[in-house]
Amino acid sequence: MKILQDLSYEELCSLVADMGEKPFRARQIYEGLMHGKKISELPIPQAMRTALVEVYADEPVKIQRVFTAKDGTKKYLFELWDGNIIEGVLMAYKYGNTQCVSTQVGCRMGCKFCASTLGGRIRDLTAGEILSEVLTVNRSEGGTLKERKVTNVVLMGSGEPFDNYDAVVKFLRNVTAEGGICISARNVSLSTCGLVPEMRRFAEEGIPLNLTVSLHATTDAERRRTMPIAARYSIAEILGACTFYFEKTGRRYIFEYSLIEGENADMVHAEQLASLLKGRPCHVNLIRLNPVKERNLKGTDERTAQAFLKALTSLGISATLRRSMGADIGGACGQLRARFLHGGDEGGPADN
C-alpha cells in the first residue's frame, strides 16, 4: 500500500485535482491527517474515502501498546500497516515532550551495544510512516495542531537515519512544514552513527536541526571494536563533516558518548576526547550505556560517569551527563521491540 502521509500539502493538492475533486478537499484531508486521523475518519465524502483506502494504508502506524515508566517516560510499540513492529518513546521535560522516532524497521549498522541491530534491517520506513509515529502519539496524548503534545522530535529510535536518506529528508520537510504539525527544525535532533557522505550532503539541505553524531570512542581502532561503520569512515573524516555542517548552517553539533565499562570510560579516554574536540563548536552528551541482555556490554557506575564528566568539563569541553530515562521499561534503542518479537516478559506478544 501507499502512504498518504508521505505527501506534502502541495502534493496532496495535485492528488485531489487528479481525482477530479474540488480543491478545498485537499485542505480537509491534510488537516485531518495532521491531526492523526485515519483516512476512514476524514471529514470528506464516503466515496472519496473509499477510493483513497483502496490505494493508501488507512492507518499506517497504529499504537499497539504503551508502557509507562516510573519517571513518566512512555514507550510505544507501534504496528505498521504491514504488521511490522517498531517502537518510539515520549519523554516529558520542563519545556515540553520529546518524541524519539524510528526511521527503519531494525538496523544494519551492527553496533555491538545496540539492540536495534540484533535482527538486521527489515525495511526502511517511508517519510509518511515516520511522520505518522508523531501524529499518532500527538493525537493519543490529546494534542492538536495548535496545542501540540509533541513539541520536540529526536531521530534516535531504531534505524540509521542517513541509511534511509531520502525518506528522512522528506519527513523533516513535512514535519516542519507550516500548516502541518509544524515542529521547528531547531526542536528536531538527528543522530547518525557517522555516514560521512550523507552528513556532508545533509549540510546543504537547508534544514537547521541539531546534528548529533554517535562517537562512543576516541580512536579509530577502539571505535571499530564496537561500531562496524568505523571501518568505513575515520573519526577525522567525521570531524571534517561536522566542520562542514557548522560552516554551512552555523549550528553547533553534538556528540553522543555512551560510557561502557572497561571500554571507553577511563580518564585517558576523557583526555583523548577533550583533545579531539578542543575548540570545536560542539557539545558532548554522555550517557551510561543501557545494558542490553543480548550483548556482553555494561554501562559504567554513576561515580565513574560523574568523574568522566568532570574531567571533560575541566578540560574545557561542554558536556552533560544525561539521565537514563525509562530504564525500567527497556528504554534503550530496540530493546522493547526485541523483547516483543522474542516473546519475553511484559513486552511479549499477546496472541501471535
Residues marked as catalytic: 87, 333
Are the beta carbons of 281 and 246 closer than 8 angstroms?
yes
How far apart are alpha carbons 352 and 350 in whole angstroms?
6
Are the beta carbons of 200 and 222 closer than 8 angstroms?
no
Based on CB atoms, which residue is closest to ligand SAH, 49 or 216? 216
Binds ligand SAH by CB under 6 A, chosen from 289, 305, 319, 325: 289
Query: Using the rule CB under 6 A, is 286 a contact of ligand SAH?
Result: no
Based on CB atoms, which residue is closest to ligand SAH, 32 or 110? 110
Based on CB atoms, which residue is closest to ligand SAH, 25 or 269? 269
Binds ligand SAH by CB under 6 A, chosen from 30, 56, 76, 113: 113
Q: How would you classify the pairing of strands 210-214 and 253-259?
A: parallel
Q: At what angle do helices 196-203 and 165-175 cross, to 10 degrees?
A: 30
CA–centroid distance for 110 within its chain: 17
- Residues in 197-236 that interact with ligand SAH by CB under 6 A: 214
Query: Using the rule CB under 6 A, is 133 a contact of ligand SAH?
Result: no
Minimum separation from the CB atom of position 164 to ligand SAH (A): 10
Indicate the SS3 state at residue 331. Answer: coil
A 10 A CB-CB count for 302 gives 10
How far apart are alpha carbons 67 and 87 in whole angstroms?
11
Binds ligand SAH by CB under 6 A, chosen from 39, 333, 336, 338: 333
Query: Using the rule CB under 6 A, is 292 a contact of ligand SAH?
Result: yes
Query: Using the rule CB under 6 A, is 129 a contact of ligand SAH?
Result: no
Stretch that binds ligand SAH, among 16-24, 36-44, 45-53, 189-197 (CB under 6 A): 189-197
Sheet with 210-214, edge to edge strand ranges: 61-68, 74-80, 85-93, 96-100, 152-155, 188-192, 210-214, 253-259, 282-288, 319-321
Based on CB atoms, which residue is closest to ligand SAH, 34 or 264? 264
Q: How would you classify the pairing of strands 74-80 and 61-68?
A: antiparallel
- Residues in 27-66 that interact with ligand SAH by CB under 6 A: none
Minimum separation from the CB atom of position 297 to ligand SAH (A): 8
Q: Tell me which residues touch ligand SAH (CB under 6 A).
A: 109, 111, 113-114, 156, 160, 191-193, 214, 256, 258, 287, 289-290, 292, 332-333
